[in-house]
C-alpha cells in the first residue's frame, strides 16, 4: 500500500513535466476562446435588443442594420410605458401583483407539504410525492379549456381577474416549491428541532430562532424560482384574461407587433423594460438560482 | 404470556392507530392544502378536458355526447398530423442540441478559471427571460428591417435578398429551434455541471495513473456518474419541448403549428364547433406526455435497480 501511495504524486509530477508549460498555455487559450464564444452567444441577442431600443426611427429604417448605434432615442421607452394599446404599464403592474401573490401562496402551501414529506413519517408519502411530480406532465393547453369554461361561468365570474391567473399559475409554482423545499429540508440536520426543544424553548421560539434562519436561504431560492415561473407565464394570460384589467405583460409583448407601422424601437424598449428586473435578479441571486435549479437533479 | 398474546391479537386496530406512525394526523393536515390545490387546478381540469373532448359543443348547455368523433376529426386533419411532425422534429433536435452543447459547456465551466462565476451568471440570463420575450428578442433579429441575422444570412448567400428566415416552414422551425436552444442550453449546462461537480476528483487521478486517456476517462467515469442527472434533465426537457406553445405562437402562427398551438388555435381562434376538437388535440398531447414519462421512469427505475 505504501508503495502505491508513493507512486501517485510521483506519477503526477512526471505528467506535469512531460506535458510542458507551452502545451498548457495552449490549452488555456483554447479554454478562454471557448468561454468567450459561449458568453458572446448568451448575451448578443440581449445587446441587440438594447441597441435597437435606443436607435431612432431614421436609423432603424436604414439598411443594413448598424451594430454600433449612432443615435439615441429615449422616446422609445416613454412611448412603450405610455402605450395605450397594449396598456403596457398596467400590464407590468398586473404581472408583478400576480407573480407576488402566486409566490406567497406557493411558498406557504409548499413549505408545509415539504416539511411533512421531508421530516415526518406518514403513510402515503410516496403517493403525495408522485402526485406533486406528475403535475409536471400535464400540458397546460389541456388545462386552459376547462379553466376557461369554469372561470367564465356566471356563478364564479373569475375570468379576467387576478384570481384567474394566480390559480393556474399555482399549477406551475406549487410543484416547483414543494419539490425544491422537500429536497432542501431533507438536508437540514435531523436533530435540529430536538436539540432546540430539549433546551427548553417553546415550539414557537424554536421555530423563530432556530428553524427560520436555517431555512431562509432555501425559502428565498424557492421564492425566486416561483416568481420567475409565474412571471414567465404566457398561455394562461392569453386565454384567461381579456384586457389590461388583469392581463400580464407577457401578453402585451406580442401585441406591440400588430397595427400598421411596426415600431421596432418601441417593441425593443418594451422587451428591455420587462427583462431588466430579471437580469438584475439573476445578477444578484445567481448562486441561489443555480442551487435551486440543480437541487432536484443531483440529489434525486 | 400466552393469554397476553391472545388478547392483543383479537383487539381491533382502529384507523387512527393504523395511520399513527408517530407523527399523528399532523402530516395529513400539512399536505392537504397542496393536494387540494392540485386536485382543483390540475386533476379536475384534465378530467374535464377529457369530458369536453367527447361532446360536440362545450360552450352551450345542450351539448351532446359524440364519442370519439372529435378525435377522428383531429387525427384526420392533415394540419394536425403536420403539427405532430413539427413538434417531434422540434423536440428531438432541440433537446439533442441542448444536451450536447450543455454537456460541452458544463465540461468547460468545470475547469477552474478566473471569472467562472461571471460566466455562470452570463449564461443564466437567457434562461431568465420569459419564453415569449425571448421569441420577441430573436424576432428583432430575424425580421427584414432590424434583422441582423437576416443581413448575415443574406451576406452568406443562404437567403435571397429581401427574404427572411421565417418565411418558409423549414425556416420557422429552424428559428424556433435556435431560440429554444439559446434559452435552454444554460439550464442543461448548469444541471450537468452540478452533476459533474459531485464526481470525486481522485477517480480521475487514479485512472490517469493507470494510464487511461481523457477520452477513456470520459466514457468510463464521467458518463456513468452523470447518468442520473442526465435522465432527469432529459425527462423535464423533453416534456417541455413537446408542450411548446409560446415560440410557435409567435413564429409560426397558423403556418407552422405545434400540437399545443394547434389546440389553442382551435379552441380560442376558431368557431364554436372547433372548441371540442381542440380539446381532443390537447388530450392527445397529454397522452403523448404520459407515455414519454412512463418510458423515462421505467428507464430510471431500471438504472436504480442496477445500482
**Nearest residue in B to A165, CA atom:** B41
Q: How confident is the model at residue A203 (pLDDT cuts 50, 70, 90)?
A: low
Percent of chain B predicted with pLDDT > 70 = 90
Please determine, for residue A135, whether its predicted confidence score (pLDDT) is greater than 70.
Answer: yes
Please determine, for residue B246, whether its predicted confidence score (pLDDT) is greater than 50.
Answer: yes
* pLDDT tens per residue across span B123-170: 888 988 899 999 988 988 888 777 888 888 888 888 777 777 878 888
Please determine, for residue B269, whether its predicted confidence score (pLDDT) is greater than 60.
Answer: yes
Please determine, for residue A99, whether its predicted confidence score (pLDDT) is greater than 90.
Answer: yes
Report CB contact under 8 Å: B125, A41: no
Please determine, for residue B181, whether its predicted confidence score (pLDDT) is greater than 90.
Answer: yes
**Which residues have CB under 8 Å from B306's CB, separation 6+?**
none
Are the C-beta atoms of residues A239 and A160 closer than 8 Å to each other?
Answer: no
* Mean predicted confidence (pLDDT) in A238-252: 89
Is residue B37 situated within a structural domain?
A: no
**Nearest residue in A to B18, CA atom:** A123
- Domain span at residue B301 reads 69-306
Q: How close B57 comes to chain A (CA, Å)?
A: 12
Q: For residue A205, what pLDDT is reported? A: 65
Report CB contact under 8 Å: B44, A146: yes
Q: How confident is the model at residue B304 (pLDDT cuts 50, 70, 90)?
A: low
User: What mean pLDDT is reported for chain B?
Assistant: 83
Q: How confident is the model at residue A24 (pLDDT cuts 50, 70, 90)?
A: low
Is residue B244 situated within a structural domain?
A: yes
Quote the CA–CA distance of A42 and B40 in Å, as a whole number.
39
* Mean predicted confidence (pLDDT) in B203-230: 80
Please determine, for residue B83, whether its predicted confidence score (pLDDT) is greater than 50.
Answer: yes
**Nearest residue in A to B260, CA atom:** A141
Are the C-beta atoms of residues A233 and A164 closer than 8 Å to each other?
Answer: no
Q: Which of B245, B229, B165, B232 is nearest to B197 (CA)?
A: B229
> Which three cell numbers mark A50?
438594447
Q: For residue B69, what pLDDT is reported? A: 85
B108 contacts in A (CB within 8 Å)?
Answer: 31, 34-35, 38
Please determine, for residue B105, whether its predicted confidence score (pLDDT) is greater than 80.
Answer: yes
pTM of the model: 0.83
Q: For residue B5, what pLDDT is reported? A: 45
Q: For residue A199, what pLDDT is reported? A: 62
Say which CATH number the domain at B282 has.
Answer: 1.10.3720.10
**Nearest residue in A to B291, CA atom:** A137
* Mean predicted confidence (pLDDT) in A158-170: 91
Rounded to the nearest 5 degrees, what angle is found at the Cα of B128, between the Cα atoms of B125 and B132? Answer: 115
**Which residues have CB under 8 Å from B28's CB, separation 6+?**
A116, A122, B19
ipTM, interface predicted TM-score of the complex: 0.82
Is residue B230 situated within a structural domain?
A: yes
Cβ atoms within 10 Å of A132's Cβ, excluding its own = 25
Rounded to the nearest 5 degrees, what angle is found at the Cα of B247, between the Cα atoms of B244 and B252? Answer: 110
Q: How confident is the model at residue A169 (pLDDT cuts 50, 70, 90)?
A: very high
- B45 interfacial to chain A (CB closer than 8 Å): yes
Report CB contact under 8 Å: A112, B249: no
- B271 interfacial to chain A (CB closer than 8 Å): no
Q: How many contacts, defined by CB atoms under 8 Å, are there between A and B? A: 286
Please determine, for residue A43, whether its predicted confidence score (pLDDT) is greater than 80.
Answer: yes
pLDDT greater at residue B264 or residue B297: B264
- B223 interfacial to chain A (CB closer than 8 Å): no
Q: For residue B1, what pLDDT is reported? A: 45
Q: How close A65 comes to chain B (CA, Å)?
A: 6
Asked which of A252-256, B262-266, B299-303 is least confident by mean pLDDT, the reply is B299-303
Q: For residue B12, what pLDDT is reported? A: 59
Is residue B16 situated within a structural domain?
A: no
Is residue B149 situated within a structural domain?
A: yes
Please determine, for residue A296, whether its predicted confidence score (pLDDT) is greater than 60.
Answer: no
Is residue B59 situated within a structural domain?
A: no
Is residue B18 situated within a structural domain?
A: no
Please determine, for residue A242, whether its predicted confidence score (pLDDT) is greater than 70.
Answer: yes
Please determine, for residue B292, whether its predicted confidence score (pLDDT) is greater than 60.
Answer: yes
Q: How confident is the model at residue B22 (pLDDT cuts 50, 70, 90)?
A: low
Domains within chain A, CATH numbers bracketed: 2-73 (no CATH), 76-299 (1.10.3720.10)
Number of domains in chain B: 1
Is residue B1 situated within a structural domain?
A: no
Please determine, for residue B179, whether its predicted confidence score (pLDDT) is greater than 90.
Answer: yes
Amino acid at each position: 500500500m505504501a508503495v502505491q501511495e508513493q507512486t501517485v504524486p510521483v506519477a503526477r509530477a512526471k505528467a506535469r513535466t512531460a506535458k510542458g508549460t507551452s502545451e498548457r498555455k495552449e490549452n488555456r487559450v483554447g479554454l478562454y476562446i471557448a468561454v468567450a464564444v459561449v458568453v458572446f452567444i448568451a448575451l448578443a441577442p440581449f445587446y441587440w435588443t438594447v441597441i435597437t431600443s435606443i436607435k431612432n426611427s431614421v436609423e432603424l429604417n436604414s439598411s443594413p442594420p448598424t451594430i454600433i448605434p449612432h443615435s439615441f432615442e429615449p422616446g422609445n421607452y416613454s412611448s412603450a410605458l405610455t402605450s395605450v394599446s397594449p396598456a403596457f404599464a398596467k400590464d407590468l403592474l398586473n404581472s408583478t401583483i400576480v407573480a407576488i401573490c402566486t409566490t406567497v401562496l406557493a411558498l406557504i402551501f409548499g413549505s408545509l407539504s415539504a416539511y411533512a414529506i421531508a421530516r415526518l413519517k406518514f403513510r402515503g408519502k410516496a403517493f403525495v410525492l408522485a402526485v406533486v411530480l406528475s403535475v409536471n406532465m400535464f400540458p397546460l393547453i389541456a388545462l386552459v379549456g376547462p379553466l376557461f369554461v369554469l372561470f367564465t361561468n356566471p356563478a364564479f365570474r373569475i375570468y379576467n381577474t387576478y384570481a384567474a391567473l394566480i390559480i393556474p399559475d399555482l399549477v406551475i409554482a406549487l410543484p416547483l416549491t414543494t419539490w425544491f423545499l422537500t429536497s432542501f429540508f431533507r438536508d437540514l440536520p435531523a436533530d435540529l428541532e430536538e436539540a432546540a426543544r430539549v433546551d427548553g424553548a417553546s415550539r414557537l421560539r424554536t421555530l423563530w430562532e432556530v428553524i427560520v434562519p436555517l431555512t431562509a436561504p432555501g425559502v428565498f431560492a424557492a421564492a425566486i424560482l416561483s416568481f420567475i415561473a409565474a412571471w414567465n407565464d404566457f398561455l394562461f394570460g392569453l386565454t384567461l384574461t381579456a384586457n389590461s384589467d388583469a392581463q400580464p405583460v407577457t401578453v402585451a409583448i406580442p401585441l406591440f407587433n400588430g397595427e400598421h407601422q411596426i415600431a421596432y424601437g418601441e417593441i425593443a424598449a418594451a422587451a428591455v423594460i420587462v427583462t431588466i428586473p430579471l437580469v438584475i435578479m439573476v445578477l444578484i441571486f445567481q448562486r441561489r438560482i443555480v442551487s435551486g435549479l440543480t437541487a432536484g437533479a443531483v440529489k434525486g | 404470556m400466552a393469554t397476553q398474546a391472545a388478547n392483543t391479537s383479537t383487539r381491533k386496530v382502529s384507523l387512527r392507530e393504523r395511520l399513527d406512525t408517530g407523527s399523528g394526523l399532523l402530516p395529513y393536515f400539512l399536505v392537504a392544502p397542496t393536494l387540494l390545490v392540485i386536485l382543483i387546478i390540475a386533476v379536475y381540469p384534465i378530467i374535464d378536458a377529457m369530458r369536453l373532448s367527447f361532446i360536440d359543443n362545450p360552450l352551450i348547455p345542450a351539448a351532446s355526447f359524440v364519442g370519439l368523433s372529435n378525435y377522428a376529426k383531429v387525427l384526420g386533419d392533415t394540419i394536425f398530423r403536420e403539427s405532430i411532425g413539427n413538434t417531434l422534429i422540434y423536440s428531438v433536435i432541440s433537446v439533442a442540441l441542448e444536451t450536447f452543447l450543455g454537456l460541452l459547456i458544463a465540461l468547460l465551466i468545470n475547469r477552474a478559471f478566473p471569472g467562472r462565476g461571471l460566466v455562470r451568471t452570463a449564461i443564466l440570463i437567457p434562461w431568465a427571460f420569459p419564453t415569449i420575450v425571448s421569441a420577441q428578442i430573436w424576432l428583432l433579429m430575424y425580421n427584414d428591417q432590424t434583422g441582423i441575422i437576416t443581413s448575415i444570412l443574406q451576406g452568406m448567400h443562404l437567403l435571397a435578398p429581401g427574404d427572411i428566415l421565417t418565411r418558409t416552414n423549414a425556416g420557422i422551425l429552424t428559428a424556433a429551434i435556435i431560440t429554444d436552444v439559446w434559452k435552454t442550453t444554460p439550464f442543461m449546462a448548469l444541471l450537468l455541471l452540478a452533476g459533474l461537480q459531485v464526481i470525486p476528483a481522485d477517480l480521475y487521478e487514479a485512472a490517469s495513473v493507470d494510464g487511461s486517456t481523457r477520452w477513456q476517462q470520459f466514457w468510463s467515469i464521467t458518463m456513468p456518474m452523470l447518468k442520473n442527472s442526465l435522465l432527469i434533465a432529459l425527462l423535464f426537457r423533453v416534456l417541455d419541448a413537446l408542450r411548446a406553445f409560446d415560440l410557435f405562437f409567435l413564429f409560426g402562427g397558423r403556418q407552422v403549428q405545434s400540437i399545443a398551438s394547434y389546440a389553442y388555435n382551435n379552441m380560442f381562434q376558431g368557431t364554436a364547433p372547433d372548441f371540442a376538437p381542440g380539446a381532443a388535440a390537447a388530450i392527445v398531447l397529454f397522452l403523448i406526455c404520459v407515455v414519454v414519462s412512463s418510458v423515462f421512469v421505467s428507464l430510471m427505475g431500471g438504472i436504480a435497480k442496477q445500482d
